[in-house]
A = this chain, B = another copy of it.
Amino acid sequence: MDVKLIQACCEPVLTGSLGIPEAEDLADAFKVLADPVRLRLLSLIANAPEGEMCACDLVGPLERSQPTVSHHLSILAGAGLLTREQRGKWAWFRVVPERVTVLRDALDLG
């Protein structure tokens, strides 16, 4: 995947005319959300007790191989939807709600 940082780029889709580059950026951003494994990763991490989770505890619930989970975590982090913090040999992830808000705002109505 084309892991590009999600940024506010434009008026909401329905209230302003969307240029070609803006449409491509937005489409890339939605592409990150267009996978059930990534949506569940976001959900699991956002609802974790301390708002964070270790990668080691994410493989089980998702029923995917460890490399696959790592792949999706890296896409989410690359888009800025997750932060990654290394503590010893474990990697801990947190959701960045502001990034989700950017996408939500793109769907605002006039």
* Among candidates B27, B97, B107, residue contacting A109 with C-beta atoms closer than 8 Å: B97
The answer to whether the Cβ of A71 comes within 8 Å of any Cβ in the partner chain is: no
Say what secondary structure dominates the interface of chain A.
Answer: helix
Distance of A38 Cα from B44 Cα, bound (Å): 30
Cβ contact within 8 Å between A20 and B46: no
Cβ contact within 8 Å between A17 and B47: yes
Q: Contact string, A1-33, partner B, CB cutoff 8 A, digits 1/0?
A: 000000000000111111010011011101101
Chain B residues with CB under 8 Å of A18's CB are 39-40, 43-44
8 examples of A-B residue contacts, CB within 8 angstroms: A14-B97, A16-B47, A17-B44, A18-B39, A26-B33, A46-B110, A101-B107, A101-B109
